[in-house]
């Protein structure tokens, strides 16, 4: 699933490509991807709406539109947004541009396409079709439970070490806490593994057992690893692609995620993979105590 760095890169790139553009029309072969309202209403209401602002809240991409509307897209497990030009060839959408939009198989699962007023197309590619698309009145969206319950943004200036300590529950395994979107926004499986490796903390350690020094190391690692993810344009280990269709480069940096059976880059111990609450944890049993 795309996490904070991937969503942030997507938002920044979308601002360069589609900000101030207007929606002309929309196509889908999977109307259920639009969760609010019905697809027919969605298509009618979004026509001629101008994109005035694009921003991120947690893992949500939000387009603030003209007339007080907002478009929310959550890419879920395998979704990613693309900008380009496509044509329908014998019932299949095919990119007109040479390069990753055309050549990378992960960019071919187009289930939602928006036509824009400058001739560009905004497409949602989603292998498993779990993505969520909603159209809201902006004021209602900002007051909705789904937005208000998201925890603080870890890269905000006001996300201090004191704030970090305040939001932590009294008990719970630290990896699960880092991935809880109601506690802290945007961190998932990939970056929680890398954060805890950077901080030398075992993912199964209970937060109640962490010292002040260990909490400071986790806090510093959160900032460092997420910024590194953005700098390297996200992780394309699985399905994520940038809006150009190209891969991010965080794979070159990751130390433990999906490296089970390999040697720890710090001490040489074999990296382990264990389940934690239905998710996976990759870690070094020697370095991470």
Catalytic (active site) residue 2 = yes
Catalytic (active site) residue 15 = no
CB 111 within 8 A of CB 33: yes
Catalytic (active site) residue 17 = no
| Torsions phi, psi for 164 (to 5 deg) | -60, -45
Question: End-to-end alpha-carbon separation of the chain, Å?
Answer: 27
Catalytic residue among 21, 108, 227, 279: 279
Q: In three state form, how does the secondary structure of 213-250 look?
A: HHHHHHHHHHHHHHHHHHHCCCCCCCCCCCCCCCCCCH
Catalytic residue among 3, 8, 134, 198: 3
The neighbouring-strand residues paired with 203 are none
Catalytic residue among 2, 5, 100, 203: 2
Asked if the peptide bond before residue 37 counts as cis, ω within 30 degrees of 0, the response is yes
- Helix, strand counts (H, E) of the chain: 9, 13
Catalytic residue among 43, 56, 57, 59: 59
Catalytic (active site) residue 241 = no
Contact residues for 121 (Cβ-Cβ < 8 A; gap 6+):
83, 84, 85, 86, 113, 114, 115
* Structure-block tokens of residue 138: 């902006």
Helix-helix angle 212-231:4-18, to 10 degrees: 30
Mapped onto helix, strand or coil, the DSSP state of residue 97 is coil
CB 133 within 8 A of CB 34: yes
Q: Which residues are catalytic?
A: 2-3, 59, 279
């Amino acid at each position: 699933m795309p996490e904070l760095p991937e969503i942030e890169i997507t938002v920044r790139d979308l601002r360069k490509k589609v900000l101030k553009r207007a929606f002309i029309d929309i196509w889908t072969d999977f109307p259920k991807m639009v969760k609010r309202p019905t697809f027919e209403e969605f298509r009618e209401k979004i026509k001629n709406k101008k994109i005035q602002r694009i921003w991120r809240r947690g893992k949500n991409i939000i387009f603030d539109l003209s007339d007080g509307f907002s478009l929310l897209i959550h890419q879920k497990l395998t979704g990613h947004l693309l900008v380009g030009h496509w044509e329908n060839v014998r019932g299949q959408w095919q990119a007109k541009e040479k390069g990753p939009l055309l050549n990378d198989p992960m960019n071919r699962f187009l289930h939602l396409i928006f036509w824009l007023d400058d001739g560009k197309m905004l497409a949602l590619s989603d292998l498993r079709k779990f993505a969520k698309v909603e159209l809201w009145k902006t004021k209602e969206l900002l007051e909705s439970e789904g937005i208000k319950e998201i925890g603080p943004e870890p890269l905000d200036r006001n996300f201090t070490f004191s704030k970090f300590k305040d939001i932590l529950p009294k008990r719970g395994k630290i990896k699960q806490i880092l991935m809880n979107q109601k506690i802290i926004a945007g961190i998932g499986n990939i970056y929680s593994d890398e954060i805890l490796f950077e901080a030398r903390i075992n993912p199964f350690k209970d937060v109640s057992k962490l010292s002040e020094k260990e909490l400071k190391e986790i806090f510093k690692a959160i900032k460092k690893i997420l910024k590194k993810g953005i700098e390297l344009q996200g992780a394309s280990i699985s399905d994520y692609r940038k809006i150009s269709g190209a891969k991010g480069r965080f794979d070159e940096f990751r130390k433990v995620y999906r490296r089970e059976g390999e040697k720890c880059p710090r001490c040489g111990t074999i990296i382990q993979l264990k389940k934690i609450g239905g998710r996976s944890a990759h870690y070094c049993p020697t370095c991470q105590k």
